[in-house]
Amino acid sequence: MNGKAIGVFDSGVGGLTVAGEIIKQLPNENIIYFGDTARFPYGSRSTDELKGFVFEIVEFLQEKGVKFIVIACNSASAAALEVTQKHFSVPMIGVVEPGARAAVQATRNRRIGVIGTPATISSSAYVEAVHTYDSQAEVYQQICLDLADYVERGETRGEKVKKVIKNYLAPIIAAQADTLILGCTHYPLLSATIKEVTGSGIRLISSAEEAAKEVKEILESKGYLREGNSPPVYQFISSGDEDKFLKLGSQFLGHPIDKVERVSLDRKG
């Protein structure tokens, strides 16, 4: 069990922000990463569609023999974590609950902002998760329709994206939230620009970092950590264009990626 890989997946390269945090916190672990780039983006998909995609990818990763799975996509976690956990025996987590928990721990005035895709925000998964820890906390949600696209295009700094962020965050800043959950895999890459907009008064919570902490805690408590000193193996798989994955992937992961395999899953989106 211990030598088996951790399976991590997302709609594309965004979940590599989560894989990068796992590598930082668990540098001895093998990782298999699947990016469903052929069906990107997930943020505008329906709940039923997302459940279908998630089942298919979890089956695929289970066949690869992973010991643990991280649904490293907010939209997919919001739509399908619970039903997938019930259906499959392999232990897994999503990114919503760890982010919500960290936000409740961080806030001083119990006002929490959440930004994400239409799928994540309309599910209210973050609101529910925050309320399991603090039923009285105020949660201010905001759909950021095109923010992930800016990151996909590499536009993470500059006046144009800053103005877009300013517009999206205006209601959350007006509500005096002191904590902001970055509820999309792409947003940690916008942290510097978001901080320019919010100033130091709002604490940013990266679901990626918090999810990696939770993976570490669970693997340690189950005695599932990999032993030995051989270098870890990282395998990157994409359902779509390998070149795009390679180009963007290293930026999201924070490490160079030199090889990507292409695997088509049956169901087409």
Q: Considering only the stretches 17-25, 157-165, 183-191, 250-258, report the one whose residues sit in contact with ligand DGL under the rule CB under 6 A.
A: 183-191
As measured in angstroms, the least distance from the Cβ of 149 to ligand DGL is: 9
Q: How many CA atoms lie within 13 A of 102 on its CB side?
A: 22
CA distance 203 to 61: 35
Long-range Cβ pairs for the range 223-229 (8 Å, 24+): 223/2, 224/1, 224/2, 224/67, 224/68, 225/2, 225/26, 225/28, 225/29, 226/2, 226/3, 226/28, 226/29, 226/30, 227/2, 227/3, 228/3, 228/28
Active-site choice (73, 103, 161, 237) = 73
Residue 144 appears among annotated catalytic residues: no
The backbone region for 39, taken as left when phi is positive above 0, alpha when psi lies in -120 to 50, beta otherwise, is alpha
Q: Does 184 bind ligand DGL (CB under 6 A)?
A: yes
Give the binding-site size for ligand DGL (rule: CB under 6 A).
Answer: 16
Active-site choice (184, 205, 212, 260) = 184
Q: Does 101 bind ligand DGL (CB under 6 A)?
A: no
Residue 73 appears among annotated catalytic residues: yes
User: Pattern of binders to ligand DGL over 120-139, x per CB under 6 A?
Assistant: x-------------------
Q: Does 17 bind ligand DGL (CB under 6 A)?
A: no
Single-letter amino acid, residue 90: V
Q: Does 43 bind ligand DGL (CB under 6 A)?
A: yes
Q: Does 14 bind ligand DGL (CB under 6 A)?
A: yes
Q: Does 75 bind ligand DGL (CB under 6 A)?
A: yes
30, 37, 117, 206: residue in contact with ligand DGL (rule CB under 6 A): 117
What's the token pair of residue 195?
A: 């901080």
Catalytic residues: 73, 184
